[in-house]
Chains A and B, each alone.
Chain A
Amino acid sequence: MSVYITSSGHFLPGPAINNDQMEPLLGLVHGKPSRLKRRILQSNGIQTRHYAIDAQHNTTISNAGMAAKAAEHCLTQSFLGKRQIKMLSAATSQGDIVLPGFGSMLQAELGLSDIELHSSHGICSSSMMALKAAFTNLKAGEQPNALVVASELTSRLFKASRYEAAGSTLDFNAEFLRWMLSDGAGALLLETQARGQCFRIDWIRSFSHADAYPVCMSVGYPTESDHSKSWQDYASYAEAEAAGALLIRQDVRLLENIVKLGVDGYLRLISEGRIQPDKIDHVLCHYSSHYFRGKIFDMLQRAGVGIAEPKWYSNLYTRGNTGCASIFIMLDEFRRTQHYKTGDTIICMVPESGRFNNAYMQLTVVDA
């Protein structure tokens, strides 16, 4: 049984916000402009992004609301109506509420009836895990179709008031993601029948390395080094916030491992015969190609498995890094705007820094 991506959709809230508009919107922490902003933006290369909060820090649309918009965008271009959808597989780093699962909230928002439900929790790779759950469900013949939706509303964490509540000091690791992440949602429709020119999912694989590396991106510990207490262990949530346990942090020192592990998984899949480097026509990677430069990149070239620059596609620079939604938003825009032909091979890669889970997928362009 083959599984196809027969439609896709996205939702990006509000207008595109450029680099100069970011800080007025997110707010000055203690009334002072950030000293790290320029450096971080320079290194990530992002030019514009979207936020589901306004300058007064009202939330303009909920996370489930964005997910529903992306799903509806996807469905309007499909051959299926809502009533025909059999499965919903949803991913986010943080839903609007802690419980129940994001999938339940999204199902209600979308008005899907009697579906099989799956919620995937994690960071950037959670969308790929949600996709794999749907993919295998269809492969096993359990369902004929599934809607897979990934959505992120991280800007709520980046409001100046959040940092102020956590005290006076703002270290690099706590500020890093403020200039990196933004909001948005993406959706894919999976079916066991092809429709027109669409993408067949050849395989999805992931390799997780949490046992070998410390936490790299997190919310819930007061500092990178102090893991003795999680946000739920404080007497009150106010105390947890004051201790900085609700800030989103990236241990930037560990980031380099993402590239290594990304390459490691790629080489594994080559040796398993799943990836044939000379057959790759397009690469969609959650991280932009310039992260893969340097020594390892040079090594890949020498090892004869490098991927030529023109084959890389990304819309991170204009749509922002929307965490787990990124890869779907990227695939959706690729589908709509890029040139590809029947028979082309597409590799998608999502290296997640949370605690190092790397997901890969191969698609083939087919014609029904």
Chain B
Amino acid sequence: MTEHVLSPQGQQCLQALMRVWFEFERQLGRVPLLQRLDRGQFSKADYCQLLLNWRQQVIEGSRWISRCASSFDRDYSDVRSVIIGHAREEHRDYEMLERDYVAAGGNLTDIQQAPRNIGTEALHGFLMYRASQPNPVDLIGAMWIIEGLGQKMANDWAAQIDQTTAGDGSYTRFMRYHGANDDDHMQKLYQLIDRLCQSPAQLTAIVRTARVTARLYCLQLEEVDHE
């Protein structure tokens, strides 16, 4: 991939976002649920519990991203187009997740009626708040974390879950689906970083939002065990 060379500001932003991501992966490595998955001490019930907790955030995810798109004014109409496209692609992903939950032995009404966990409350609240600000350029930081997670789910977790629960891939479709079109997604992200990170203040805001998103995401995963 040589097409797109980032601006110096964009490059600094990418360096910082890579570090936020690596730090996030280390935080994930300390989440008890994921440590158990790593050790192969993870049951189908654990997986269902994970999906049950996750669904609420996936549903809210489509809302903050739509809100984010609508908060960009006319000067950012190009960005708005990209984000609307993204929101449209993903806003019904939760249905796939629900099907996985049922395929793994869960009861549809249980997942549909489950409340948000504490981490999800915090993450959703934060993202909706940021998305409601005029021209929320910092949310590229949140997208960075969530795109990275999608790839991690598809490349690591789905296989680990199938292996430890003796699955055949029939109930990890939602996770695997996020590995599709990786390169295309990365390309879009790079372009957005370049477009949206044009000053040191924007860089600081993007990195801060990425870090908050990462921390709250971990909190959400930590809370899966607390329900």
Residues of A within 8 A of B (CB): 209, 211-214, 225, 257, 260-261, 263-264, 267-268, 270-271, 295-296, 298-299, 302-305
A-B contact pairs, 11 of them (CB 8 A): A209-B26, A212-B29, A214-B35, A261-B22, A263-B18, A263-B22, A264-B23, A298-B1, A303-B6, A304-B6, A304-B11
Question: Which residue of chain B is the closest to A209 with respect to CB atoms?
Answer: B26
B15, CB-defined interface residue at 8 Å: yes
- CB neighbours (8 Å) of A268 from chain B are 19
- Are A302's CB and B5's CB within 8 A? yes
- CB neighbours (8 Å) of A261 from chain B are 22
- CB neighbours (8 Å) of B32 from chain A are none
Question: Which residue of chain B is the closest to A277 with respect to CB atoms?
Answer: B15
Q: How far is the CA of A362 from the CA of B23 in the complex (A)?
A: 24
- CB neighbours (8 Å) of B40 from chain A are 225
Q: How far is the CA of A305 from the CA of B4 in the complex (A)?
A: 15
Query: Could you tell me the distance in whole angstroms from the C-beta of A144 to the nearest C-beta in chain B?
Result: 39
- CB neighbours (8 Å) of A270 from chain B are 15
Count of A-B contacts judged by CB separation below 8 Å: 58
Question: Which residue of chain B is the closest to A299 with respect to CB atoms?
Answer: B18
Question: Which residue of chain B is the closest to A214 with respect to CB atoms?
Answer: B38
B226, CB-defined interface residue at 8 Å: no
- CB neighbours (8 Å) of B23 from chain A are 264
Residues of B within 8 A of A (CB): 1, 4-6, 8, 11-12, 14-16, 18-19, 22-23, 25-27, 29-30, 35, 38-40, 186, 190
Question: Which residue of chain B is the closest to A260 with respect to CB atoms?
Answer: B22
- CB neighbours (8 Å) of A214 from chain B are 35, 38-39
- CB neighbours (8 Å) of B1 from chain A are 298
- Are B29's CB and A271's CB within 8 A? no
Given contacts A212-B25, A264-B22, 16 further A-B contacts (CB under 8 A): A209-B26, A211-B30, A212-B27, A214-B35, A257-B25, A261-B22, A271-B15, A271-B19, A296-B18, A298-B1, A302-B4, A302-B6, A302-B11, A304-B11, A304-B15, A305-B15
- Enumerate the 3 nearest inter-chain pairs by beta-carbon distance, A residue then B residue, closest first: A212-B26, A304-B11, A212-B29
Please tell me which one of the listed residues A209, A225, A303 contacts residue B18 in the complex, with CB atoms under 8 A apart. Answer: A303
- CB neighbours (8 Å) of A302 from chain B are 4-6, 11, 14, 190
Query: Could you tell me the distance in whole angstroms from the C-beta of A179 to the nearest C-beta in chain B?
Result: 25
- CB neighbours (8 Å) of A213 from chain B are 26, 29
- Are B30's CB and A299's CB within 8 A? no
Q: How far is the CA of A209 from the CA of B26 in the complex (A)?
A: 8
Q: How far is the CA of A296 from the CA of B151 in the complex (A)?
A: 13
Query: Could you tell me the distance in whole angstroms from the C-beta of B218 to the nearest C-beta in chain A?
Result: 12
- Are A303's CB and B39's CB within 8 A? no
Q: How far is the CA of A164 from the CA of B16 in the complex (A)?
A: 49
- Are A303's CB and B22's CB within 8 A? no
Query: Could you tell me the distance in whole angstroms from the C-beta of A223 to the nearest C-beta in chain B?
Result: 10
Query: Could you tell me the distance in whole angstroms from the C-beta of B160 to the nearest C-beta in chain A?
Result: 9
- CB neighbours (8 Å) of B27 from chain A are 212
